[in-house]
Amino acid sequence: MNSLYLKELTFWLLVLMMGLTPQAQANQDAPNPSFPSLVISTQIPGLIEVGSRMGVLTDASRSLTFDQASTKLSAWQAINRASPNFGFTTDAYWFRFQIDNITGQALPRLIELPIPFIDEVNFYHLAGDQLKTSYVLGDEKPFAQRIVKHQNFIMPVQLAPGLNQIYIRLASAGTIEAPFRMWDPERFHEANRDENLVQGVLIGILLIMVIYNLFVFFSTGDINYIFYILFVASYLLFHLTLTGFTFAYVWPNAVRWNSIAISTFIAGTGLFACLFANSFLKLKEFSRPAWILVNVLAAGCGVLVVLTFFLPYSLTVRLGAAVTIPVALTALVVGYWRWWRGASFARFYCLAWTSVLIGLGILDANKFGLIPSNIWTNNAPQMGIILLVVLLSFTLIDRMNHDRSQRVNAQAAALAHERKARAAQEAMIRLKEETNRQLEQRVKARTGELNQTLDQLQTANDRLLLLSTTDGLTQISNRAFFDNALATEHRRARRMGAPLGLIMFDIDHFKNINDTHGHLAGDACLKALAKLMRPWIHRAGDVLARYGGEEFVILLLGSNLESSAALAEKFRIAVEELQVAHEGHVIRMTASFGVACGVPDQQSNYQDFLATADKMLYKAKDSGRNCVRSSPMNHAVT
């Protein structure tokens, strides 16, 4: 229903042109009591757009009766534009048009006003001078009182042969639009089915995105998904209220709530759009003035949500329309600013908001006759909203990948620093050995004392070596020892063409264990896990090590992918069955496993094994945790 989407356009982007003015009068000519007739014959199609082929009478006092309006011929004005739209106004408007039925027989027709949020709709049908039909409708009356149970105002008439006159009075606290249509009943029901299908597709897509991202939130805990879900849900409810579906099918008797719901959902949509932009774009870290501006807009929208329950709809709908422009423009400008300043994750965010502006701009150009009307131009806003919702979902995924990349880079930098520290330690050891040799040459005369000193030094070195290669908490190998072992065995396997297996795993939701039971409980879990694994790693050359935090690695010599994955699955089951007693509590846990296996080639290095196992570990976490994911080295999953 194109007129309805023009209303959406008014709310979202054309408020400055139409919505903020007290009254946008239709173009008027000199008084003219004669208006064109709509001719109905057997060749006329089943749908007639009344458009400007009618007269308008402004009732500033809202007190004119039907008898007065129908006799004040000198006050009627012609309308010169296709879509009669009078903006926000406190006046009542009377409309009059004639239907000339030249078929010679009575015809059933439906007069439709496709604007479901008009407060008062009074309909009168005259044949000759006799009043045939009259209706009193409006969205301030329960839905059950409508003549035709439809989200729009549908007024059935039985057109007599010859001239029929239609008078319609509209009054509302919001805007007044009068894009009347006359339907053949059969054609109306066909078009209504098509329209409901289109609306169903739009609603279905929005619901799918809400449900999908709700599951993503439960798996990631990222607050951005909550703001995104609430933004989409608010817009969906706004759209359903604007199109009349909620009044027709959800709250048909809640007249008071239906009269304020549009304002409430406009403000709610603006509120969650601001919260999403603030959190997703990290404005507090990026620009404090931008962060304050968006917070002020969010606070204004939040206050407006509350005020919609107390202030008149005529005021809150104007406030909601007025705040829409700053919110939309601010969300778009800060997004492009963030992208321009190097935040690549903001690109989908900018494309999302731009798609909405383009869609609404296309509909605006179509309504003003700048481009032709077709299925694409008429449905441009719906397509823009769908693109907005889908691209914002891509935006969240893109930023998640961006943050993960930053963490990987930070880990790489930490590894580089560790290598430098290890190299410095090796240099110090070499220097110490050289010093010892020089000292031995200088004190040959004191051989006995020197031997005793050297024995003591050797004992200290052995203890230092043991401490430097053993994790103090779990008493298994540490990361430094594992890295050295992996590099050595990788070179040996590459020379001999032997397979090499690597298992990387960590405890699921380890932070929750620490937060719930304390860090001592977390340490007890790590020690219990190391104790559980140690007996399984008994072959010469195989290494079990704590890689950091709750993360462990296992190096398997001569192991293929199938056996490595099978061993990882045994470990997974054992961890799942493990019970750790701590201070009267029994703690259970699960772990996620990533497995990489293959025969090293000349182009690979041991970091490739680590990277592949790490990717499989993340894949296991993305698959729901407490599972094993594996990959051969020559088919690594990226």
Q: What digits encode the pLDDT tens for the residues 29-69? A: 333 444 667 888 877 778 888 877 888 888 888 888 888 88
In this structure, what token pair is assigned to residue 150?
Answer: 């439809």
Three-state secondary structure of 126-192: EECCEEEEEEEECCCCCHHHCCCCCCCEEEEEEECCEEEEEEEEEECCCEEECCCEEECHHHHHHHH
CATH of region 190-407, choose from 2.40.50, 1.10.1200, 1.20.1070, 2.60.40:
1.20.1070
In this structure, what token pair is assigned to residue 154?
Answer: 């549908």
Question: What is the pairing mode between strands 551-557 and 500-507?
Answer: antiparallel
Phi, psi of 79 (to 5 degrees): -115, 130
Whether 401 shows a pLDDT value over 70: the answer reads no
pLDDT class of 9 with cuts at 50, 70, 90: very low
- Residues paired with residue 477 on neighbouring β-strands, in sequence order: 470, 545
Please report the pLDDT score of residue 501 as a whole number: 94
Please report the pLDDT score of residue 168 as a whole number: 92
Domain boundaries, the chain: 17-183, 190-407, 472-635
Structure-model confidence comparison of residues 632 and 603, the more confident one: 632
Please report the pLDDT score of residue 17 as a whole number: 33
Please report the pLDDT score of residue 370 as a whole number: 58
Structure-model confidence comparison of residues 308 and 35, the more confident one: 308
Q: Which residue matches tokens 């061993």?
A: 567
User: Which stretch of 45-49, 108-112, 493-497, 535-539 has the lowest confidence by average pLDDT?
Assistant: 45-49
Please report the pLDDT score of residue 624 as a whole number: 92
Instruction: Calculate ∠ Cα 341-403-624, nearest 5°.
Output: 150
User: Which stretch of 234-248, 416-430, 599-613 has the lowest confidence by average pLDDT?
Assistant: 234-248
- Average pLDDT of the chain is 79
Q: Which residue matches tokens 């907005």?
A: 388
Q: What is the mean pLDDT of residues 292-314?
A: 86
pLDDT class of 634 with cuts at 50, 70, 90: low
Please report the pLDDT score of residue 1 as a whole number: 38
Please report the pLDDT score of residue 555 as a whole number: 94
Question: Strands of 47-49's sheet, edge to edge?
Answer: 47-49, 181-183, 107-113, 153-159
Q: Which residue matches tokens 């995924």?
A: 397
CATH number for the domain running over 472-635: 3.30.70.270
Q: What is the mean pLDDT of residues 428-444?
A: 79
Please report the pLDDT score of residue 461 as a whole number: 64
Please report the pLDDT score of residue 30 as a whole number: 37
Please report the pLDDT score of residue 396 as a whole number: 64
Please report the pLDDT score of residue 62 as a whole number: 84
474 three-class SS: coil
Could you report the per-residue pLDDT of 56-65, keeping only the tens digit for each? 888 888 888 8
Whether 355 shows a pLDDT value over 60: the answer reads yes
Whether 599 shows a pLDDT value over 70: the answer reads yes
From CA 276, how far away is CA 346, in angstroms rounded?
Answer: 12
Whether 28 shows a pLDDT value over 60: the answer reads no
Q: Please measure the distance between the N-terminal and C-terminal CA atoms of the chain and give it in whole angstroms.
A: 46
Whether 18 shows a pLDDT value over 60: the answer reads no
Could you report the per-residue pLDDT of 361-372, keeping only the tens digit for each? 665 455 444 555
Could you report the per-residue pLDDT of 171-186, keeping only the tens digit for each? 987 778 888 888 888 8
Q: Judge if pTM exceeds 0.75.
A: no
Greatest mean pLDDT among 203-207, 259-263, 363-367, 516-520 lies in 516-520
CA-based nearest residue to 362, from 386, 389, 390, 381: 381
Please report the pLDDT score of residue 570 as a whole number: 94
For the chain, percent of residues with pLDDT exceeding 90 = 20
pLDDT class of 577 with cuts at 50, 70, 90: very high
Whether 290 shows a pLDDT value over 70: the answer reads yes
Please report the pLDDT score of residue 553 as a whole number: 95
In this structure, what token pair is assigned to residue 458?
Answer: 């050797």
Could you report the per-residue pLDDT of 98-149, keeping only the tens digit for each? 888 888 888 898 998 888 888 889 999 998 888 888 999 888 788 778 888 8
- Write the burial class of residue 551 (CB in 10 Å: 0-12 exposed, 13-18 middle, 19+ buried): middle
Please report the pLDDT score of residue 392 as a whole number: 65
pLDDT class of 459 with cuts at 50, 70, 90: low
Please report the pLDDT score of residue 492 as a whole number: 92
Could you report the per-residue pLDDT of 411-435, keeping only the tens digit for each? 777 777 878 878 888 888 888 888 8
User: Which stretch of 43-57, 71-85, 485-499 has the lowest confidence by average pLDDT?
Assistant: 71-85
Please report the pLDDT score of residue 635 as a whole number: 44
Greatest mean pLDDT among 206-215, 261-270, 343-352, 614-623 lies in 614-623
CA-based nearest residue to 596, from 624, 625, 637, 627: 637
Helix ranges restricted to H, 534-629: 561-577, 606-622
CATH number for the domain running over 17-183: 2.60.40.2380
pLDDT class of 565 with cuts at 50, 70, 90: very high
In this structure, what token pair is assigned to residue 193?
Answer: 């089915």
CA-based nearest residue to 209, from 351, 389, 348: 389
Greatest mean pLDDT among 157-166, 317-326, 570-579 lies in 570-579
Q: What is the mean pLDDT of residues 224-228?
A: 77
User: Which stretch of 208-222, 441-455, 521-535 has the lowest confidence by average pLDDT?
Assistant: 441-455
